[in-house]
């Protein structure tokens, strides 16, 4: 799918959603335990919790619908492989935040065109100065840009910024402060309004629930069913071997001279 088509598709999908509560609810330990044992519905339920956040971060950091879609697919697929390693209720969110940011960094060679940046294309305003504000945001050093978007868009505090960006809390705080100072100097009295427009647009990047449920369920099923069938096949092979050995022993044993 091309850049323009992906962007239009994303806008149609996201426009059906309402502005979400940005807080992510941690799963209970029972759900996590069932998911670690690859119980399909538990895995799907767990991944549905974090999918909207992964989508928002991918779209916000990349600014492109097509690039973000690739980031989301990669992160979700990789996440399915590491489910058994999650040991506490907070670990899934830490993993998804961190690996979505890391994957988005690998896509930095595909920046959005200024007028097609999702922060511009999905904004309510068509103010040219706001477009310049977003262009300036994209031109910041990578970690400053991440800190600004994740803090003002995803509403991450400094501790979660540090987790997502793989740095110390102090470093995250410094990246955010420098980014804010740079953009405030550029925008002047319009800074607060532009920042709020960015936050509103970012919130609108969250997918609607009727998109999340079937999309996550399909991806989980595609991963778990082959594993389940392979497990069944292994048991069939083992039982077949045991049956063959038992039959051979039954046939041969009476012929053995004692």
Task: Give residue 110's Cα distance to chain centre.
Answer: 18
Q: What is the pLDDT of residue 3?
A: 39
Q: Give the lowest-confidence range in 12-16, 77-81, 244-248, 250-254.
A: 12-16
Note whether 209 and 239 are same-domain residues: no
Question: Mean pLDDT across the chain, nearest whole number?
Answer: 86
Q: What pLDDT score does 156 carry?
A: 95
Residue 167 corresponds to which tokens in the numbers above? 């740095």
How many helices (H) and strands (E) the chain has is answered by 12, 0
pLDDT recorded at residue 146: 98
User: With helix as H, strand as E and coil as C, how does 25-90 read?
Assistant: CCCCHHHHHHHHCCCHHHHHHHHHHHHHHHHHHHHHHHCCHHHHHHHHHHHHHHHHHHHHHCCCCC
Q: Are residues 202 and 251 in the same domain?
A: no
Residues 73 and 168 in one domain: yes
Provide the CA 34 distance to its chain's centre, in angstroms.
Answer: 21
Q: Are residues 194 and 235 in the same domain?
A: no
Residue 117 CA, distance from chain mean position:
19
Burial degree of 134 (CB within 10 A; 0-12, 13-18, 19+): buried
CB 103 within 8 A of CB 71: yes
Mean pLDDT of 31-51: 94
Q: Are residues 251 and 194 in the same domain?
A: no
Same domain, 105 and 206: yes
By residue range, what is the domain housing residue 100? Answer: 3-223
Distance CA 83, CA 175 (A): 31
Residue 194, number of CB atoms within 10 A of its CB: 26
Measured CA to CA, the distance from residue 48 to residue 34 in angstroms comes to 15
**Distance in angstroms (rounded) separating the CA atoms of residues 180 and 137:** 10
Give me 206's structure tokens: 């969250």
What percent of the chain has a predicted confidence (pLDDT) above 70? 78
Kindly give, in sequence order, each residue whose CB lies less than 8 Å from that of residue 44, ignoring residues fewer than 6 positions away: 216, 217, 220, 221
What pLDDT sits at residue 196? 96
Q: Looking at the structure, do residues 235 and 212 belong to the same domain, yes or no?
A: no
**Do 183 and 116 fall within a single domain?**
yes
To the nearest 5 percent, what fractions of the chain are helix, strand and coil? Answer: 80, 0, 20
Domain count, the chain: 2
Find the angle CA(81)-CA(86)-CA(87) to the nearest 5 degrees.
155
Is residue 96 domain-shared with residue 188, that is, in the same domain?
yes
Q: Please count the CA atoms within 13 angstroms of the CA of 113 that sit on its side-chain side.
A: 7
Is residue 183 within 8 Å of residue 148, measured between CB atoms?
Answer: yes
Domain match, 197 and 235 both: no
pTM for this one? 0.81
Dist CA 122 CA 117 (whole Å) = 8
Cα separation of 99 and 78, whole Å? 9
Whether the predicted pLDDT of 190 surpasses 90? yes
- Do 192 and 237 reside in the same domain of the chain? no
How many angstroms from the chain centroid is the CA of residue 233? 32
Summarize pLDDT for 107-166 with one digit per residue, the tens: 988 999 999 999 999 999 989 999 999 999 999 999 999 999 999 999 999 999 999 999
pLDDT bracket for residue 236 (50, 70, 90): low
Domain co-membership, 121 together with 176: yes
Beta-carbon count within 10 A of 38 CB: 17
């Amino acid at each position: 799918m091309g850049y323009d088509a992906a962007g239009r598709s994303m806008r149609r999908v996201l426009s059906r959603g309402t502005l979400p509560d940005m807080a992510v609810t941690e799963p209970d330990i029972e759900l996590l335990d069932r998911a670690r044992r690859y119980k399909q519905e538990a895995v799907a339920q767990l991944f549905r919790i974090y999918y909207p956040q992964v989508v928002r971060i991918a779209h916000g950091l990349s600014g492109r619908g097509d690039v973000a879609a690739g980031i989301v697919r990669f992160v979700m697929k990789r996440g399915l492989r590491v489910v058994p390693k999650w040991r506490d209720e907070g670990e899934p969110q830490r993993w998804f935040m961190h690996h979505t940011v890391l994957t988005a960094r690998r896509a930095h060679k595909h920046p959005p065109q200024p007028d097609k940046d999702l922060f511009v294309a999905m904004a309510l305003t068509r103010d040219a100065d706001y477009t310049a504000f977003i262009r300036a945001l994209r031109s910041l050093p990578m970690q400053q840009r991440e800190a600004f978007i994740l803090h003002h868009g995803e509403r991450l505090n400094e501790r979660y910024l540090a987790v997502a960006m793989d740095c110390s809390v102090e470093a995250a705080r410094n990246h955010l402060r420098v980014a804010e100072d740079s953009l405030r100097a550029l925008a002047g009295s319009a800074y607060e309004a532009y920042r709020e427009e960015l936050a509103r647009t970012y919130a609108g990047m969250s997918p609607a629930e009727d998109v999340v449920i079937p999309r996550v369920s399909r991806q989980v099923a595609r991963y778990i069913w082959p594993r389940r069938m392979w497990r069944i096949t292994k048991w069939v092979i083992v039982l077949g071997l045991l049956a063959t050995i038992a039959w051979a022993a039954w046939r041969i044993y009476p012929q053995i001279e004692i």
